[in-house]
Amino acid sequence: MKHVAQKGFTLIELMIVIAIVGILASVALPAYQDYVVRARVAEGFGLATAAKTTVLDVVNSGNVASNTNGYQGDYVSPAATKNISSIAIGKETGAITITTTQAAGAGSLLLVPYTQSGTTVSGLPASTATSTTVSGAVLWKCLAKGASTFAGVSVRDNALETKYVPSDCK
């Protein structure tokens, strides 16, 4: 009797491979979806660059009170996109609020400006302060859901879930 060598896979072997691929896909898809939302939220960081520049211009002017709009200065929010509803600057604190759409987590992410001298962290001067200079560089901290109050700014009720916050912000 002559044995013929098997060519190809049996039905059982193919079914096992398909089952393994299905299990791997069911685990990977939810994690992948979180990464997609994170990327959509990151679009807000690019759009917030103009807002950061406006806050820094007001700080560098040395007289926050001379600007009737406080830290908002002459900032005009960009048009809404598929992922970002709005970007606003807090008149009193200079904190930037990035509001995302449903596709990007449906929440608000705060970028809070602050200065640091040694271990002392402080917010920017009050919007009514005159002839105020800021010593050191202005740094930015992100606040999402569950973050504690930082430099006098607290997280809002509709804050963005921390799992959607880009890695630059953690």
Q: Output the domain CATH number for residue 26.
A: 3.30.700.10
User: Do the domain assignments include residue 113?
Assistant: yes
Tell me: the pLDDT tens digits for 70-109?
888 888 999 999 999 999 999 888 899 999 999 998 899 9
User: Do the domain assignments include residue 64?
Assistant: yes
User: Do the domain assignments include residue 108?
Assistant: yes
**Domains held by the chain: number:** 1
Tokens 């509709």 locate to: 158
Instruction: Give the structural domain span for 52.
Output: 11-169
Helix (H, G, I), strand (E, B) or coil at 102: helix
User: Do the domain assignments include residue 1?
Assistant: no
**Tokens standing for residue 117:** 């001298």
User: Do the domain assignments include residue 43?
Assistant: yes
Q: How many CB atoms lie within 10 A of CB 56?
A: 17
- What is the reported pLDDT for 29? 86
Residue ranges in the chain whose pLDDT is less than 70: 1, 127, 129-132, 170
- What is the reported pLDDT for 122? 79
The pTM (predicted TM-score) of the whole model is 0.81
User: Do the domain assignments include residue 74?
Assistant: yes
Query: Rounded distance, CA 11 to CA 76, Å?
Result: 63
User: Do the domain assignments include residue 5?
Assistant: no
- What is the reported pLDDT for 132? 67
- What is the reported pLDDT for 62? 74
- Are 77 and 89 in contact by the 8 Å Cβ rule? The answer is no
